[in-house]
Amino acid sequence: MRSRARHTIGRPARKIAGFSAAALVRHGLGEATDWPRVWRAHELERSYDVVIVGGGIHGLAAAYYLASRHGITNVAVLEKGYLGGGGSGRNTAIARSNYLTPEGVAFYDRSLKLYENLSAELNFNIMFSQRGHMTLAHNDSSLRTMRWRAEVNKLQGIESEVIGPEEIKRLAPPIDVSADTRFPILGALYHPPGGIIRHDAVVWGYARGADRYGVQLHQQTEVLGIETSGGQVQKVRTSRGDIATKTVLNCTAGWSSLINDMVGVRAPITTSPLQAAVTEPVKPFLDAVVVSGSLHVYVSQTARGELVFGASVDPFAQYSMRGSLDFIEGLAGNVLTLMPGLSKMRLLRQWGGLCDMTPDYSPLMGTTDVDGFLVDIGWGTYGFKAGPVSGEQMAELIATGRTPALIEPFGIGRFLAGRLVGEKGAASVGH
Ligand code: PYC
C-alpha cells in the first residue's frame, strides 16, 4: 500500500479566514489598527432558546449547526474559562474512524467526512493533514483485534488494512521493526484517511462561524445551577446572572458529572487525567501517526515539526490537570523502545487534560429523563475527533425533537438496558 498524505486545506483563496493577504501582512508588521475580533463579547440576555454549557469544540459545533442548518440562532454558549481551554485545546489532535463496532465506525466516519470539508465550510484553515494512522500490534491477540477492526471497517467502506513490518518501516522509517527488540512488531492496522488537525483552529473556526450567525459566546461565565419545575428545565444560574431557557445541552468534559448533578441526572462516568508532551521542533521525518496500544503511546509530528506524544489515561480518577515526572519517564522509555533514534530530542513541555470515561468506552449523547436537558458527554479520549459529528447530530436532535439514527446507540439509557457499545479495543491506546 502506498503512503498518501492528503492535506485538506479548503479552497485556495486570496482571503485567508476572511482577511486579505495585504491585511495579514500589515497585521504581522503591527500596523493593522482595524483588526476585527473573531467573535464578539455580549451582555448576558435574560433568556435564550438554547443554552449550551461548555465552550469547547462540541459546544461550539452544536451552536454552529443549530444556527447554520436549523436557523436557531437565539443560542448562548457558556464557558467558565476561555473557548477551547479544556479538552479541545489539550488533546493530541488525532482524527480517525477505524473503530471496532459498526456503530462507532459509522459515527466517526461521518465526523471525518465533516472534518474533510470543514476548512471550506468555515473558510478557516483547520490544517487537516490526512497522513495515515498506524496502530501497531506487538502480540497475537492485538493482531487479531487489528484484523477484526480491518474487517469491520472495510464492511463500511473505510480504508483500513493489516500491514506487516516491512510496510510499517516504509511508512514510518524511525520505527524499529527488528525482531530482537523488547516488544517486536508483528503488524499494524493501517488507516490512510486518519491524520492530525490543528485543534485550536477548529475551535476558532466554529466560534467565528457561530458568532456570524448571531450565536452569543460567553467566556468567563460559570454555570452555578440549573432549575427545573415539573421535570422541565426552566432556568440556568450563572456567575453573571440568571437565564430563562427550556433547553440546556451539557457539552462539558471533566465537569460533566457536576453539571448533570444540577438536575439529578446520573451517568456512569469517572474522570481521569490524560497527559501528553511535545518536543522541540525538528525537520519533518515522521509522516504517519503511530500508535502502540501495548506500549501505551502515540506519536505524531506537527506541521511545526514538534513531536507530540500521548499515552493512556492516568490509572486513577481525579480532577487534577498537572503533569507528572512518572508519566514523562514512562512515556520517554516507551517512545525510545519504538523509535530509538529519538534519544537526543528534547521535550519542551507536558500538560494534562480531563477525560470522562464510561464503562464501554463510548460516549453518551441524547435526551435525559429531565425534559429539555440533553447531554453530549462521556468523551473519554476520543472527543476531539467526534466534535463535528456530535455537534451536527445534537443540533438535529434539538431542532427536530427526534434522535438521529447515528447517535441512537449512544443514549444514556443503554446502561440500564444492557446495550453497551464496547469500544475498548479501539478507543485509543490500551487502557
Ligand atoms: O483515540 O485516536 C485516539 C486518541 C488519540 C489520543 C487519545 N485518543
Ligand 1 atom nearest the C-alpha of 382 is 1
30 domain residue, yes or no: no
CATH number (domain holding residue 302): 3.30.9.10
Where helices occur in 38-192 by DSSP H, the ranges are 57-70, 87-90, 102-122, 140-155, 165-171
Residues 333 and 210 in one domain: no
- Give the domain CATH number at 247: 3.50.50.60
Tell me what the mean pLDDT of segment 18-36 comes to.
76
Q: In the prediction, which pLDDT does 33 show?
A: 67
Of all protein residues, the one whose alpha carbon is nearest to atom 7 of ligand 1 is 381
294 within some domain: yes
**Cα–Cα distance list, 340 to 91, 98, 246, 337 (Å):** 25, 27, 56, 6
Residues 216 and 308 grouped into a single domain: no
Q: What is the DSSP string of 59-100?
A: HHHHHHHHHHHH----EEEE-SS-TT-SHHHHS--EE----S
pLDDT per position as a tens digit, 153-167: 999 999 999 999 999
Average pLDDT, the chain: 94
Residue 311: burial class (beta carbons within 10 Å; 0-12, 13-18, 19+): buried
Evaluate if pTM is beyond 0.75: yes
The answer to whether 237 touches 100, Cβ cutoff 8 Å, is no
Q: Which of 90, 91, 109 to mutate to test the pocket of ligand 1 (most atoms within 8 A of CB)?
A: 91
Q: Are residues 306 and 189 in the same domain?
A: yes
Task: State the pLDDT confidence band at 141, using cuts at 50, 70 and 90.
Answer: very high
Taking CB atoms and a 6 Å cutoff, what residues make up the pocket around ligand 1?
92, 94, 96, 298, 310, 381-382, 427-428
Per the structure block, which three cell numbers stand in for 117?
Answer: 470539508
Question: What band does 19 get if pLDDT is binned at 50, 70 and 90?
Answer: low
Per-residue model confidence (pLDDT) at position 29 = 83
Q: Output the CA 241–ligand 1 centroid distance in Å.
A: 37
Number of domains composing the chain: 2
What is the rounded distance in angstroms from the CA atom of residue 66 to the CA atom of residue 47? 17
Gap from CA of 209 to ligand 1 centroid (Å): 26
Same domain for 218 and 247, yes or no, is yes
Domain shared by 253 and 227, yes or no = yes
- Please report whether residue 235 resides in a domain: yes
Segment 194-221 mean pLDDT:
98
Assess whether 369 and 262 both reside in one domain.
yes
Domain residue limits at 224: 50-93+200-267+360-423
**Are residues 330 and 373 located together in one domain of the fold?**
no
Residues 169 and 301 in one domain: yes
Mean pLDDT of 114-122: 98
Spatial neighbors of 174 by CB under 8 A, at least 6 apart, are 285, 286, 339, 341, 342
pLDDT for 20 equals 77
223, 322: one domain: no
**Are residue 191 and residue 279 in the same domain, yes or no?**
yes
The residue from 357, 375, 396 where one domain ends is 357
Question: Can you give the pLDDT at residue 13?
Answer: 44
Note the pLDDT of residue 43.
Answer: 98
Cell numbers representing residue 126 in the block:
483547520
Of 322, 357, 392, which marks where a domain is finished? 357
275 and 345 belong to one structural domain: yes
